[in-house]
Structure 1
């Protein structure tokens, strides 16, 4: 499995307030720390998506090898419903993107 890494963007000498849009040093520090946490979460999410893609590829290969189709539309509908119920309408778009990523090129 490939893991994601993030590179910190160059700040070009900008102050924390300029980088964050905050009006106080305290707010700039809070925002900077929260952004670092978001970056770490994004790296974890990307890693999980890559893991999901690998597991999906195993399923697709086995399904095809057994004479089935690469895509199981009933299962995809279950996934769309799950994401929509958990995250609302944007969850459906997120699930569609995940499904597209995980269909692979088998």
Structure 2
């Protein structure tokens, strides 16, 4: 049984060029080479696992940070400890550069809310 292969734009995929049989690009991987496509799928599976771990860690960190803030306020402390936030920003900047600072700012906001 033969099935039609469609491009992302809905047009039929070209399967032959100059008399040479050609595999259409795999829409999931962007390659027509089977070994490369399989490798891409495997790598992406690991990326998805890492993404899930990052999401779970993000949520845990935000909960813990919120607990710290509530405990500090309940004991008469300040809403923020700027020296702590600066240390976190510096740690992320040192490890990841400018993008690390942006990531740290997002993490801090998730835990304490916007300023």
Compute the TM-score of the two structures, normalised by the length of structure 2. Answer: 0.73
Residues matched between the structures, number: 92
Equivalent residues of 1:16, 1:32 under 8 A apart: no
Partner of residue 86, structure 2: 77
Compute the TM-score of the two structures, normalised by the length of structure 1. Answer: 0.79
**Paired residue secondary structure (2:28):** helix
Task: Please tell me the root mean square deviation across aligned C-alpha atoms, in Å.
Answer: 1.9
More helix by share: 1
Partner of residue 100, structure 1: 109
Pick 1 or 2: higher relative contact order, CA cutoff 8 A, min separation 6.
1
Partner of residue 21, structure 1: 30
Kindly report which structure 2 residues correspond to 1:7-18, keeping only aligned pairs within 5 A, or say none.
17-18=26-27
Structure 2 counterpart of 1:61, from 70, 85, 90:
70
Change (3 A) 1:45 1:23: same
